[in-house]
């Protein structure tokens, strides 16, 4: 489904962020990407969502080289991939319902369809009761669940999570990871970049370790270990 083919990324100033990365990720996988700060984890994810382009090599998604996408195809590609970050990036002046429905509103979907979809997704993330609250009325863990709901609203094929638990305590962290595992079970491919050793070990699924832009380990049911 996702194929990094001999991908290198050099940022301006000669910063080598990724070096000859070859990776294949199948539909339905749950993959943790680990490695020290500045080793290229976020860069790997940014290439998939077209926030960055490779310096050399190709990123292939569903048999299409992302470099070959025409500009009108890029929004469609981005809708296929939901993204969550360490900071939740919620709209603070909008309710939970509005935060989650925003993309559908912008796309001009009919009101009843929006309400149906948002209720369904809020149910999945366990926030049905909170739809009329504002982000600052929610705990950190709940805010991250809103961000997950928002990322799921277009029924993406992949959920990309870049250090999603970096701002959370242990209990909230594990709740978010359990939610990601549940979403994965429902069929969404999940890519999780994290520093959190305990969670990666507990997830016990594929682990890709990156060091200074190189993939140094790729294990099924792996452990954190860097």
Ligand X SMILES: Nc1ncnc2c1ncn2[C@@H]1O[C@H](COP(=O)(O)OP(=O)(O)OP(=O)(O)O)[C@@H](O)[C@H]1O
CB of 89 to ligand X, least distance (A): 15
Question: Rule CB under 5 A: is residue 196 a binding residue for Mg ion?
Answer: no
Q: Which stretch binds ligand X (CB under 6 A): 11-19, 53-61, 73-81, 127-135?
A: 11-19
Question: Rule CB under 6 A: is residue 165 a binding residue for ligand X?
Answer: no
Question: By C-beta, is 86 or 119 nearer to Mg ion?
Answer: 86
15 interacts with, out of ligand X, Mg ion, none, CB within 5 to 8 A per kind:
ligand X
111 interacts with, out of Mg ion, ligand X, none, CB within 5 to 8 A per kind:
none
Question: By C-beta, is 154 or 167 nearer to ligand X?
Answer: 167
CB of 144 to ligand X, least distance (A): 17
123: Cβ–Cβ under 8 A, 6 or more apart, which residues?
none
Question: Rule CB under 6 A: is residue 216 a binding residue for ligand X?
Answer: no
Question: Is the Cβ–Cβ distance between 41 and 35 less than 8 Å?
Answer: yes
- Binding to ligand X (CB under 6 A) within 20-49 occurs at 35, 37-43
Question: Rule CB under 6 A: is residue 53 a binding residue for ligand X?
Answer: no
- Binding to Mg ion (CB under 5 A) within 11-70 occurs at 41-42
143 interacts with, out of Mg ion, ligand X, none, CB within 5 to 8 A per kind:
none
List interacting residues with ligand X (CB under 6 A). 11-13, 15, 17, 35, 37-43
């Amino acid at each position: 489904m996702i194929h990094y083919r001999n991908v290198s990324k050099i940022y301006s100033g000669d910063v080598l962020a990724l070096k000859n990365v070859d990776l294949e990720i199948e539909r339905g996988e749950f993959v943790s990407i680990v490695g020290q700060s500045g080793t290229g984890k976020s860069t790997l994810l940014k290439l998939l969502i077209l926030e960055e382009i490779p310096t050399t090599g190709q990123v292939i998604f569903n048999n299409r080289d992302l470099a070959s996408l025409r500009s009108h195809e890029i929004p469609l590609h981005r809708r296929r991939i939901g993204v969550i970050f360490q900071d939740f990036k919620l709209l603070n002046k909008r309710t939970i319902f509005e935060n989650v429905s925003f993309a559908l509103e912008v796309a001009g979907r009919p009101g009843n369809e929006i309400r149906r979809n948002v209720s369904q997704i809020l149910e999945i993330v366990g926030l049905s009761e909170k739809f009329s609250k504002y982000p600052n009325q929610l705990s950190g863990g709940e805010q991250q669940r809103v961000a997950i709901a928002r990322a799921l609203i277009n029924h993406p094929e992949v959920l990309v999570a870049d250090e999603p638990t970096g701002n959370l305590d242990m209990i909230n962290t594990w709740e978010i990871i359990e939610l990601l595992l549940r979403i994965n079970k429902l069929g969404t491919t999940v890519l999780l970049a994290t520093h959190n050793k305990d969670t990666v070990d507990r997830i016990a699924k594929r682990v890709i370790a990156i060091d200074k832009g190189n993939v140094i380990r790729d294990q099924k049911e792996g452990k954190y270990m860097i």
